[in-house]
Structures are given as C-alpha cells and as structure tokens.
Amino acid sequence: MDEAVDRNRTVAVVGTGTMGQGIAQVALVAGHPVRLYDSAPDRAAEAVGAIRARLDRLVEKGRLDAAAREDAAGRLHAAADLAELADAALVVEAIVEDLAVKRSLFAALEEVVADDALLATNTSSLSVTAIGGGLRLPGRFVGLHFFNPAPLLPLVEVVRGFATDESAATRAYATVKGWGKTPVRCADTPGFIVNRIARPFYAEAFRVYEEGGADPATIDAALRECGGFRMGPFELTDLIGQDVNEAVTRSVWDSFFQDPKFTPSLAQRRLVESGRLGRKTGHGWFPYEGDAERPAPHTAPPAEAPDAITVEGGLGPAGELIAMVREAGIEVRETEEDRGTRIVLPGGGQLALADGQTSVEFRDVVYFDLALDYRAATRIVLSASEVTSWETLRGAIGLFQALGKKVSVIGDVPGMIVARTVAMLVDLAADAVAKGVASAEDIDTAMRLGVNYPVGPVEWGRRLGAAWAHELLDELHARVPTGRYAPSLALYRRTYAEMGGE
C-alpha cells in the first residue's frame, strides 16, 4: 500500500466548490479517471462543465494540447450517488468545515468503497484524527491539505492522524508527488505546518498596530522592503479575507487551549464585526472601492548623514552595514568594546539592532530593524522614544539615507517589526521540529511554497543563530510577561547547544 495510486484507478472528489474542482482537475490532468460528487443536486454536473471549460483555456494558452484535453474530458464524470464511487482507489473530501458533517460523510463512504481505498480530507482547520475517529478502518485515513488554487500552487500537506497507518501516509505522499505536487509530511497538529507557524507574521504586525507603534501601510512596507516578504500582513489578509484569516487564527488558538502565543487580534475582530472583510467587500485594512488610494508608508524627509561613526562589537546580524557605510564615504572606526553591539554617532547618541528592549530605557538610543539583506533592502525602520534626542534620530535617518534607503520612523516598539516577527517564526519552527510535527526540511519547504516566505524559518534561525532569537524573545518576555514571547524549550536547548553547553 506504499506505492502511488495507479493512474488507471479512479480518484473521487466529494464537494464541488473551488477546492474540490481544483483537486479534481489536478488528478484528471495527472491521468486518472475522476468522479465528482456533491450532495446538492446538479452541482457535480456543473462542476464537470466548469473543469472542462478550464481545460479549454489551458489549450488556448498552449499549456495542454487538444488531444490531451479530449482524453481528460472523457475521463471526467459526475456522480449522482455515493454508490457510484465504489471503484475509487482514493476519495478526497472537500466539503464544509464541519466535523459532524465530515464524519457522517466518511462513515457513508466506508460502506461504499473497498477496504484498500485511501480516504482523505482536505480540511485546513479541523483535526484529521477527529474526522477519521469513527471509521471502521481509520488507518487508511489521511489529510491531504491542498492550497488554493490547487492546480497552480505546488504545496500539499500530507497529514498523519493519530490512527493513520504509515503505509497509507506514504501512499498518499507518493500519489500527490506523482501528480507534480510538492508534498510535505506532518503530524496532526492544529494548523498543520503552514497555518501553525505563520501565525506570528500576522499577529505581530497587528500587535504593533494595536500598540500604536505604526500604521498598517508602514508595517507592510517594513516587512516587504526590509524583511523580504512578498506581501505585508495587512494587504495579504485583505486579499485572503479578514473573516477567513481570523477564523484560522481563532481555530489554532482554541485548539492549543488558548495558548498566548496564538492569541487573535482584537483589531482584526472589529474589522470582521464591521463587515470590512478586505477586497471582497471593498474595504478591509485598506480601501478598495472606486478610485480609493492606498495610504503610503511613513517616510522620513531627507536628513544630513554623519561624517564618521564608531562601531562597537561588530553589529552581529547587521555586520554587513559596516562595509556599506564605508562605501558611502563615511568614516568607520571599529572597537572591540564589550558593551554590546552598536553604532555610536559623533554626538554620543547610539544606534542598536532591535533586541527586544525599548529606547526609553536608555539615555539616547535609536533602534534599527533586522533586514533579510541589508544591501537589497530598500527601506530601513527606526524606532525612538520621547527621551531620544532629535540630533541622534536625525543622524540615524541621515546615515541610512546615505546608504540609499528610505527610512520609516515608528514608535518605541520592543523588538521592532521584522526582528520580532522573525524571532517568533524561528521559535515556533524550532518547537514544531522538536515535537515531531514535521522535519526541518519539510517546514522550510512548506513556508516557502505555502506562503512565499523568502527564507524558511529553520534556515533563518541557522543564519541568525538560535541565541539571537532566544535573547530577543527573552527581552520581549521580560517587558510583556504574558507568556506570548517566552522562548520555547526547543529554542532554549538549541541556544545552549550553540554555546557549547556553557
């Protein structure tokens, strides 16, 4: 049972919405006979017509030849009754996210299909174990979580329920890999890989906004132009739908018994309550109706750069800045002072990489945010407090502008924006690996392909060092002692392993 489902065997899809049609199209183009079933009258026949129309468009675009289109169309059929799925070697369910409804469906399917048929759910938020818990043969039940649109996005999370046989999970993995997808293996945990580990990308941005640290446009710009993410969390949730994104967040939070690391956003809840769900309603975090203009990120006006700086301690993950400053014609003096890593300006004010502390705690300090690549970054974010001198802030702005960067100044936010987000992603990924949710390789693959992260969080953690993430989160936890930022035991262990057990 550990080989892929043969291409001559039927694949059945139950549920003919967007996901059901997409999964059916993937199996069909891969060469399987496909049957579609929906409990609503005529929906399966309509879906067959819609899929055939999409095949026509693939032919028009040169992505499918006419003969292959005719062959595929001849293998696609609507089923009027579940009994017509009796010869299916694999049945994938893509119906409403309701546990009772899904359990009822699979109980009925088990009376129809052969005992060696694979049964799979495309659920994104429910427990695979719970859905398959009432089956006579729960070992053949797996999760196959496709991402929308299924024909285009390569990632599929292959989820092992508590009772899933390893052979069934392996067969499901081999099958979707044979369909041209990139499968990753994971245990049945709330949110699986992507929806579990991605929560801080949204949550930390919303938290900075709720704290009054910065506006949505500036936060999005920081994560795009400095962090290297393809989209900012505000614009991305407007695209996904605020109701959909918030429902996933709430589901993961509830499933983890309201762990503070996954606490939903009150500001997002208010958006949902007001009906501002994003692009689909014409307004979310940003307006989309008519000629509405998107707010621009805060960008500081030009400021004069200092003639010289002193670098103490090397700057750690921001060390590349030293060469960049020299290339800009600014003198750099380096010392090995054992007082942390920082840039000292001519007037005595200091610049420090975000470390989880706040500017107000120090006499005259401006923090700058982490960047994925300081040379490629087009924007740098700074934070200061009411006790920071204007001379120091102006010098910091001018320094980064001399490097060709736009500069955004935000409030006194501990851990800034990119740094605290990345530290949380690194921590959740380390925790997931340690708890056997998925391998480090599969986690990085899932986050790059599933949500377009520029670097997988495990790899990001390796580049920055576990100690960097641990120290930043430890400082944040000291300032916000709710448990949200407490470093995981996995990150704690990795930090001390890097330090040689000291």
Strands annotated E in 132-246: 141-146, 155-160, 182-187
Strands annotated E in 174-242: 182-187
8 is catalytic: no
Is the alpha carbon torsion for 29, 31, 37, 41 positive or negative?
positive
Q: Which of 125, 195, 265, 359 is catalytic?
A: 195
DSSP string, 256-270: TTS-GGGPPPHHHHH
Tokens of 117: 């048929």
Tokens of 311: 């670098």
Q: Which residue has the tokens 């002072």?
A: 337
Are the CB atoms for 201 and 232 separated by under 8 Å? no
Q: Which of 32, 145, 283, 470 is catalytic?
A: 145
Tell me which H or E stretch contains 151. none
Tokens of 413: 């936010």
Q: Which of 122, 124, 383, 408 is catalytic?
A: 124
Looking at the DSSP bridge assignments, the partners of residue 14 are 37, 93
Tell me the C-alpha distance between 108 and 110, whole Å: 5
Tell me the C-alpha distance between 489 and 502, whole Å: 16
**Number of Cβ atoms within 10 Å of the Cβ of 304:** 12
Tell me the C-alpha distance between 167 and 1, whole Å: 6
Q: Which residue has the tokens 């801080």?
A: 200
195 is catalytic: yes
Q: Which residue has the tokens 């203009």?
A: 293
Q: Which residue has the tokens 């969390």?
A: 233
Q: Which of 93, 157, 225, 459 is catalytic?
A: 157
**Number of Cβ atoms within 10 Å of the Cβ of 467:** 16
Task: Tell which residue, 120, 122, 170, 115, has the closest CA to residue 147.
Answer: 122
Are the CB atoms for 76 and 28 separated by under 8 Å? yes
**Number of Cβ atoms within 10 Å of the Cβ of 70:** 11
Is the alpha carbon torsion for 429, 433, 436, 441 positive or negative?
positive
Catalytic sites, residue numbers: 124, 145, 157, 195
